Chain A
């Protein structure tokens, strides 16, 4: 497929150009460039160590750690550069992440975790509406709002983590390893919820190990290998064979 005409597409929500990321001296991303349109679901596919998580961490400013980690290149949100901002400022602009392993606040109840998500002053006026919205998407959480999150199953914790991200009224949510460690039936439910979140108008970027699942949910996929994007396109156009060839780095199609 040829590259789509730029003037036909609406302005991109997220635009990443020439992004390199470093942990100390070692380089984890090599000049990555891509864009995400508003309302899209983008799946990032790649093996362990391909740089997927680093990419998401770079977008939310978690790689801006002086000598410990830093990025080069540009990241723009709605045409505004965010690559030099701290994480809390980026979240205030409407980008957030559901981190790998969920990382809930373990000493808090479901509701307290959700309220933490609405910490920003701009979120506080609409806190009740947002809470209702989250409980609409995850009715199970409404019944357990006072329960401590550490007593919940992995799937339920993932629901809390997604709900917590939603509480900040984001335009863009990055999901890092969404299905890791969850039973397949739970993963189905979670992906159904991601679609529901996307229907609310939230743009989603999903990191997923399961290639078929990633391609099923996405309107746009790309494959990463050793810190580079080696394949980029619509899932229907690419096909499973080319994606898996790119995933394993076995040449063919990777540079088509």
Chain B
């Protein structure tokens, strides 16, 4: 009797941990999805875009609009959202952000310090403009992208569940990471992105137009943010001013995973997810966010370049 009571305690303690690890890992996939775009532009290319999170929200609203006109599966909205987001990213970089880069600021006779500051200021302003434009267009009501999977879960065992949506996010994140990895390794455009991020002065000697390459990278980054935005919109409500929350998550993941490492964002996301869920399980819901920030602080203190920095 005593014996079985004890083993039952152990069982439930283990189930708690297993659930924590599993749902933490799944949450990590979701975080990774949010962060991959930023891992490319900020982590690899060192391009700063503080409006990255707002772009995620733009994509979610875009899906809402599409669904208003055409009642299809939310996943199919990606066919439209992804190319539109790519175009926005490409145009934004090519026609706005490239002209406030360090190099162009030097060409205009400004100091390097000013050149480093200007993309931060410009995209910070852009973030505010986007949020207010969304507010004007959609009001501040919380929206969600309706779908049949919101409350569905897969049962792994009697006491172990995993959210179907989270599992899908995880798989999508892994698929995007693999695709991005292959793109960066095996294609001319991918190698050009790596070359330009490694040595922006020498890359043009390969015939690489760095302005164009940066624009392609930003386009891909926002295309991925588009996928993330639609996924986010399917799993929770969103409002026009939610962008910075996602930017913060994405920065956290990129910092933990390491600058310059694409796969680091998956590991960083999983670590952040597990830390948050376990902190929430053992110290209450309020500990969830604090636990995440503690992890980021810990990584910054011990290994400031991030776990998998290259």
Pairing of A with B: yes
- A residues sitting closer than 8 Å to B (CB atoms) are 60-62, 65-68, 86-88, 91-92, 96-97, 99, 103, 105-108, 112, 115-117, 119-120, 123-124, 164-165, 168
- B residues sitting closer than 8 Å to A (CB atoms) are 103-104, 106-109, 188, 191-192, 194-195, 198-199, 201-210, 310
List A contacts of B109 (CB < 8 A).
Answer: 66-68
What are 18 residue pairs bridging A and B, where the CB atoms are less than 8 Å apart in the complex? A66-B104, A67-B107, A67-B109, A68-B107, A88-B210, A91-B204, A91-B207, A96-B205, A99-B205, A107-B198, A108-B195, A108-B198, A112-B191, A115-B191, A116-B192, A119-B195, A120-B207, A124-B188
Shortest distance from the beta carbon of A122 to any chain B beta carbon, whole Å: 9
Known A-B contacts A62-B201, A116-B192; A67 and B207 likewise in contact (beta carbons under 8 Å): no
Cα–Cα, bound, A116→B209 (Å): 12
The answer on a CB contact under 8 Å between A66 and B206 is no
The answer on a CB contact under 8 Å between A103 and B199 is yes
List B contacts of A168 (CB < 8 A).
Answer: 206-207
The answer on a CB contact under 8 Å between B202 and A103 is yes
Residue of A103, A117, A119 with highest tally of chain B CB at under 10 A: A119
Residue of A nearest to B212 (CB): A88
Residue of B103, B107, B192 with highest tally of chain A CB at under 10 A: B107
The answer on a CB contact under 8 Å between A119 and B199 is no
Known A-B contacts A68-B107, A107-B198; A87 and B204 likewise in contact (beta carbons under 8 Å): yes
Pick from A67, A68, A124, A164: contact of B206, CB below 8 A.
A164
Known A-B contacts A105-B194, A108-B194; A119 and B205 likewise in contact (beta carbons under 8 Å): no
The answer on a CB contact under 8 Å between B204 and A88 is yes
Pick from A61, A65, A105, A107: contact of B103, CB below 8 A.
A65
| 17 extra interface residue pairs, beta carbon distance < 8 Å, beyond A119-B188, A120-B207 | A60-B205, A67-B107, A67-B108, A68-B107, A87-B205, A88-B208, A103-B202, A105-B195, A105-B202, A106-B198, A116-B192, A116-B203, A116-B208, A119-B192, A119-B207, A119-B208, A164-B206
List B contacts of A99 (CB < 8 A).
Answer: 202, 205
